[in-house]
Amino acid sequence: PCALLQTRMQSLQPDPKAQYRSVYEALKKIVLTEGLWRPLRGINVTMLGAGPAHAMYFACYEKMKKSLSDTLQQGGNSHLANGIAGSVATLLHDAVMNPAEVVKQRMQMFNSPYKSVLSCVRTVQRTEGFGAFYRSYTTQLTMNVPFQAIHFITYELVQEHINPRRDFVAGAVAAAVAAAATTPLDVCKTLLNTQENTALSSLNVSGHLSGMLNAFRTVYRLGGLPGFFRGVQARVIYQMPSTAIAWSVYEFFKYFLTKHKLEKRTSL
């Protein structure tokens, strides 16, 4: 639900019926006017992309983190290594998730014309071409590389100093810090993904908006500096539990598999 609220609240020129003053008001209004299940719209395409994307993400992170830490700080935990490993892992993750994000956000917009994931994919492919699914990829990377660098450094720092048990607290704190810091880039990404018709028409933009610089200019012209922080509350609320859960599951299976491997070696 928070993902849909984030998309709606980042709209630069929303329909009068889709203007919200807070996360709670947005959720209440959407449920009352559009139905109980509307906040879950687009969740299926997210689930399809999340499995392979996160598998590559964590596998790449662990491998690079170990290799770089051994090189930069023998036997220790290098924060620089954590940041670099998280940034590189993002390249693989976003290559899979970017098309899913485009479809998800278009389906989440107010009065979205798309009835299903398949109809959205077909319509975008037919009218805008395959490139539309990666129009925001550079912006996504520009956002997610610093996001993941901040995220992983903060996560490992919190783990070391105040959360040695490695529960969900570190993941939530890291996500909140990184999410708030990268909100301006996320607003630009949402604009590129949705190609918000009302906003572009008001500026007489013909065709499709592309490029990070064009997105930045458009957001500034329509909303000024505050426009770059539209939906920041929804973004932080969305990122904190989702990232915390992801890290908790990851740490559990990492511990379980490592323990099982050690027991197997000992028995031999």
**Which residues, 6+ apart, have CB-to-CB distance to 267 below 8 Å?**
none
Q: What average pLDDT does the segment 224-239 reach?
A: 89
What pLDDT digit, counting tens, does each position of 104-152 carry?
999 999 888 898 899 999 999 999 999 999 988 988 888 888 777 777 7
Amino acid type, 209: L
- At 107 the pLDDT is 92
What confidence tier does 8 reach under pLDDT thresholds 50, 70, 90?
A: confident
Residue 205 in this model has a pLDDT that exceeds 80:
no
In a domain, 9, yes or no: no
In a domain, 220, yes or no: yes
Asked if 171 and 247 touch (Cβ cutoff 8 Å), the reply is yes
Residue 230's Cα: distance from chain center in Å? 15
DSSP 252: H
Residue 187 C-beta-side C-alpha neighbours within 13 Å: 30
Asked if 170 and 151 touch (Cβ cutoff 8 Å), the reply is no
Query: What tokens appear for 212 in the block?
Result: 């990070």
In a domain, 57, yes or no: yes
Look at the chain and report how many structural domains it folds into. 1
% the chain with pLDDT above 90 = 15
Q: The domain that contains 97 carries what CATH number? A: 1.50.40.10
- At 263 the pLDDT is 66
- At 165 the pLDDT is 57
Q: How far is it, in rounded angstroms, from Cα 255 to Cα 51?
A: 20
Q: How far is it, in rounded angstroms, from Cα 82 to Cα 160?
A: 13
- At 58 the pLDDT is 83
pTM: 0.70
Report which of 82, 95, 97 is spatially closest to residue 151, judged by C-alpha positions. Answer: 82
Widest CA span in the chain:
72
Question: What's the Rg (C-alpha) of the chain?
Answer: 20
- At 219 the pLDDT is 92
Q: Which domain holds residue 92?
A: 42-230
In a domain, 1, yes or no: no
% the chain with pLDDT above 70 = 92
Q: Which residue has the higher pLDDT, 159 or 37?
A: 37
Residue 98 in this model has a pLDDT that exceeds 70:
yes
Report which of 248, 67, 109, 65 is spatially closest to residue 174, judged by C-alpha positions. Answer: 248
**Which residues, 6+ apart, have CB-to-CB distance to 42 below 8 Å?**
3, 4, 103, 104, 105, 107, 108, 117
Residue 268 in this model has a pLDDT that exceeds 60:
no
The residue assigned the tokens 């028995």 is 267
Q: What average pLDDT does the segment 209-228 reach?
A: 90
Stretch among 22-31, 72-81, 189-198 having the lowest mean pLDDT: 72-81
Stretch among 30-34, 166-170, 201-205 having the lowest mean pLDDT: 166-170
Q: What average pLDDT does the segment 92-114 reach?
A: 90
In a domain, 244, yes or no: no
Amino acid type, 11: S
Residue-averaged pLDDT of the chain: 83
In a domain, 83, yes or no: yes
- At 119 the pLDDT is 92
In a domain, 125, yes or no: yes
- At 140 the pLDDT is 84
In a domain, 241, yes or no: no
Residue 250 C-beta-side C-alpha neighbours within 13 Å: 19
